[in-house]
Structure 1
Amino acid sequence: MTIRNAGLAGIIAVALAGCSASYGAPEKNAQAVSTVATTQAIAVQLVAPPERDPSELQVLFWNDAQRSERFRDMENWFAGHEVPAALETRDLPAGAPLSADIQAEIKTLIEETNTAGVMVLQGGKVRFEGYGLGLEAQDRWTSFSVAKSFTSTLLGAAVKDGSIESMDDQVTRYIPELTGSAYDDVTVEQIATMTSGVAWNEDYTDPESDVSQLNKYVVEYGPDAIVEQMKRLDREAEPGEKFKYKTGETNLIGLLVENAVGMSLAEYSQAKIVEPAGFAGGMFWMTDPRGGNIGGCCLSLRLSDYARMGEFVRTGGLQSNGTSIVPEGWFAKAGGQQVDFGGNGFGYGYQWWTYPGGNFGAQGIFGQAITLIPEADLVVARVSNWPTATSSEYGEKWLRFAYKLSTQP
């Protein structure tokens, strides 16, 4: 469908001062809560950083040197869950190296765009792997809004499991505290495509914008912050009629999935992403004051594991038994153009950005990305420290280059 007034904002402010170091999920999840600490089979651990002045936690105001240091060390700045590496690592064998000219071009782009790492997979084989900013293969790097596409994948898993009956279900079925708000009559699919019709301001230069007020609600309402903010929003269009990018709405998806499956996103991701995708390193996922995970942001992985996630999605989310973690055709729809930004191939799916030619990807501020070009069996994973949160000209360069890579022998 074509949606009017398609906004292109794609950034998230991380203002998480006051995050709790304890898991405070809803009562219905009490059994799952205890397993985090006591069941070795799950082995998801809560980690708490040293106590810091809240002013130090304003990520958007970190300088260049601070970002390069802290983006690889977020677990020492924010509370979160640590998910161990998969029991069986997905092999990424060496493929035919890209030509010397193309490799030189990638290395130049790494330098020009303040990129920390790039991995190119084709057919599941590594054709290029390179690093900058002192990053090494075993180091992790934060994701920012790339996490949205992980949350979307867990949404699909919850549908496949039957924990969520249908994408046509109303949001209030899973988050009843929103009853009587602008989310009445809004479906799960509509928040997945950010077409709820609920008003939201994602302007990071405006201290009064909704996204800038996230921390205010955290401080004032603690575990209830997500619902308390979102239920106060007004409706500006009928559900399904207007796209507007809303980080707060992806946080709702995370809450919805956690309520439906009875465990945190981190726990659920261990079974549905980390193990079947075969991550080589552990995953850190920030918690909010509930002790649940932040659906719209803030997991950390090795570069190779971002690439493994891309390959996992490209190959349909298959598990070792040959069945998919998501319903049949999920990624074609999730990575398909559910929202059309004007007939040029750019649009939005289920928390994935869509590009010309049926391609799609995950994007996060400061230059994090997983780009998929399915017809070429190509996955390009990238982590960065761009000079500004958006630096859109850098993103355009890398997307054009991904298309170039898809034509290389």
Structure 2
Amino acid sequence: MKGIGLAAALVLAGVASAQSVTVTPDNAAKLRQVGAEVLFWSQAQRDQNFREMEKIFPGHVVKAGGKVRPLPAGKPLPIAEADVKAAMADLNVAGLIVVQDGKVRLERYGLGYGPEGRWTSFSVAKSFTSTLVGAAIRDGYIKSIDDPVTRYIPDLAGGGYDGVTVRQLLTMTSGVKWNEDYTDPKSDVARMFSDDVPAGQDPTVWYMKRLPRESAPGTKWVYKTGETNLIGVLVERATKKTLADYLTEKVWKPWGMERDAFWMTNAAGSEVSGCCLSVSLRDYARMGLFALSGGKGVVPDDWFAHATTNQVPLPKDEGGFGYGYQWWTVPGGRFAAIGIFGQSIMVDPAKKLVVVMSGSWPAATGEKLSVARAAFWGKVEAAADK
């Protein structure tokens, strides 16, 4: 699947390289270069740093509450241990958890990761960000996803986003031209935060406003991490709250997340909403359960029914996958949040099943790796019927 997690070159550029470092005009270019190098870390660096992003980059804390939603042990999943070990090795898995009917049926860790730690999400964060749009609609901060984006981000006016709706941002069908090629240093995903930004301008808005229109809004799907970053700007401006604070308020505390999460910030001090949320394995599973529950009382009653079903026609080379509101739809009535280097939350509503995998793949994406993950999902689902 092309574009399943794009993250680093786009979203990490412009952030500080250590906790004590502050972005200044003098060091900004160097820090952007350090951020972009995430895509090119060695395997040893990935294995180490994906569980310690808060030690490398600045960010905001998503705070857990005092009451934790329990995840009791369930009947052990009747899956061959050899299959589990093979998947852990072949997919370089750091964390694997299978929850069915709210109970843990399988849980494994590797690569120095454990229940007390956090692992980066890459584009899994997109599904968290879209959920905040639903919350903002229910809270009255956003009137409708059919509102024009420029109602909430007026400084986008006069560019390719004129006439584009919030819905079209959520479904990545704005019609604005975008290049998401990780290997091309001149692509939008590589340049978005590398260009100098005039003083007082939001870096995401400033870059996205300059992009040309290539098709009518709503007619063509193109995966654009930059548009998820715009969604973050939209939510932040509509609610007048940081994304971390709003996620704390709407999901983390009321849903009973167990541990604080960490959301990386860009040079402007805003969360990188298309990426870069670090969460514990069990709390990723709780997010899957939140989506499975429909998010009653947090998002509109029909939000997840729409967010997790295919909203747009995708190219044939996407392997039968579809796209909702920043969630991938998976053949067989399933849906998933997916990020590069092996991050995923897969939900099967019919089986009341959530499967989370945190990993450190040897490549950001790859057909063989994706096929191997899907095959393991299949083994888990077959075992879940027993």
User: Normalised by the size of structure 2, how large is the TM-score?
Assistant: 0.91
Aligned twin of 1:216? 194
When the two chains are superposed, the root-mean-square deviation of aligned CA atoms in Å is 2.0
- Counterpart CA distance in 2 for 1:218 and 1:265 is 24
In the superposition, relative to structure 1, how do residues 207 and 100 fare at CA in structure 2: closer, same or farther (>3 Å)?
Answer: closer
Q: Give, as a single letter, the amino acid of the residue that structure 1 aligns with 2:128.
A: F
Asked whether the 8 Å contact 1:222–1:289 carries over to 2, the reply is no
Q: Distance in 2 between matches of 1:197 and 1:259?
A: 23
Structure 1 counterpart of 2:3, one-letter code: A
| 1:156 equivalent in structure 2 | 134
Match of 1:366 in 2: 341
Q: Quick one: distance in 1 between partners of 2:157 and 2:237?
A: 15
CA-CA distance at 1:315 after TM superposition: 1.1
| Residue 77 of structure 2 is aligned to residue 98 of structure 1 | yes
- CA distance in 2 between partners of 1:214 and 1:144 (Å): 17
1:50-69 pair list within 5 angstroms: 50=21, 54=31, 55-57=33-35, 58-69=37-48
**Which SS does the other structure have where 1:156 is aligned?**
helix
Shift of 1:218: 5.9
Corresponding position: 1:79 with 2:79: no
8 A Cα contact 1:345 1:357, kept in partner: no
Match status 1:139 vs 2:135? no
Q: Conserved in 2, the CA contact under 8 Å of 1:94 and 1:125?
A: yes
Cα pair distance change 1:233/1:221, threshold 3 Å: farther
Q: 1:126 and 1:196, CA in 2 relative to 1: closer, same or farther beyond 3 A?
A: same
Structure 1: stretches of 5+ with no match in the other structure: 1-6, 22-46, 319-323
Please give the residue correspondences for 1:8-407 in structure 2 after superposition, counting only pairs within 5 Å.
8-15=2-9, 16-19=12-15, 48-50=19-21, 54=31, 55-57=33-35, 58-101=37-80, 103-217=81-195, 224-318=202-296, 324-341=297-314, 345-407=320-382
After superposition, give the CA deviation of every residue in 1:223-268 in whole Å (9 maximum; x if it has no partner).
5211111000010100000000000000000000111111110000
Asked whether the equivalents of residues 321 and 328 of structure 2 are also in contact (C-alpha less than 8 Å), the reply is yes
Q: CA deviation at 1:211?
A: 0.5
Q: For structure 2, which runs of at least 5 residues remain unmatched after alignment?
A: none
Letter in 2 for 1:270: T
Q: Quick one: distance in 2 between partners of 1:59 and 1:286?
A: 13
Inter-CA distance 167–115: structure 2 relative to 1 (3 Å threshold): same
TM-score, with structure 1 as normaliser = 0.86
1:287 Cα shift? 1.1
Opposite residue 312 of structure 2, the aligned amino acid is V
Please list the CA deviations of residues 309-363 of structure 1 after superposition, one character each: whole Å capped at 9, or x if unmatched.
Answer: 1011111114xxxxx2000111110000102336874210000011112211000
- 1:57-88 per-position Cα deviation (integer Å, ceiling 9, x unaligned): 32011111111111111111111001222221
What is the SS of the residue equivalent to 1:119?
strand
- TM-aligned CA deviation for residue 220 of structure 1: 6.2
**1:179-201 Cα shifts (integer Å, max 9, x gaps):** 11110000000010000000000
Displacement of 1:125: 0.4
Give the Cα–Cα distance (whole angstroms) in 1 for the partners of residues 331 and 274 of structure 2: 25
3-state SS of paired residue (1:354) = strand
**Take 1:49 and 1:403, find their aligned partners in 2: how far apart are those partners?**
45
In the alignment, is the contact (CA less than 8 A) between 1:20 and 1:290 conserved in 2?
no
How many correspondences in the alignment? 372
For 1:93, the aligned partner's letter is: P
CA contact (8 A) 1:120 1:381 kept: yes
The change in CA–CA distance for 1:155 and 1:303 in structure 2 (over 3 A counts) is same
Using the TM superposition, name which of 274-283 and 218-227 deviates more.
218-227
How far the C-alpha of 1:402 sits from its partner, in A, is 1.9
How big is the shift at 1:18? 4.2
Instruction: Give me the whole-angstrom Cα distance separating, in 2, the residues matched to 1:399 and 1:49.
Output: 41
2:63–2:253 CA contact under 8 A, matched in 1: no
Q: CA deviation at 1:115?
A: 0.8
Secondary structure at the counterpart of residue 360 of structure 1:
strand
Q: Distance in 2 between matches of 1:222 and 1:135?
A: 40
Whichever residue aligns with residue 58 of structure 2, its letter is A
In 2, Cα distance between equivalents of 1:250 and 1:123: 31
How far apart are 1:11 and its partner, in Å? Answer: 2.9
Q: Indicate the percent of aligned positions where both proteins have the same amino acid.
A: 51
- How far, CA to CA, are the matches of 1:403 and 1:274 in structure 2? 30
- CA pair 295-304 structure 1, distance change in 2 beyond 3 A: same
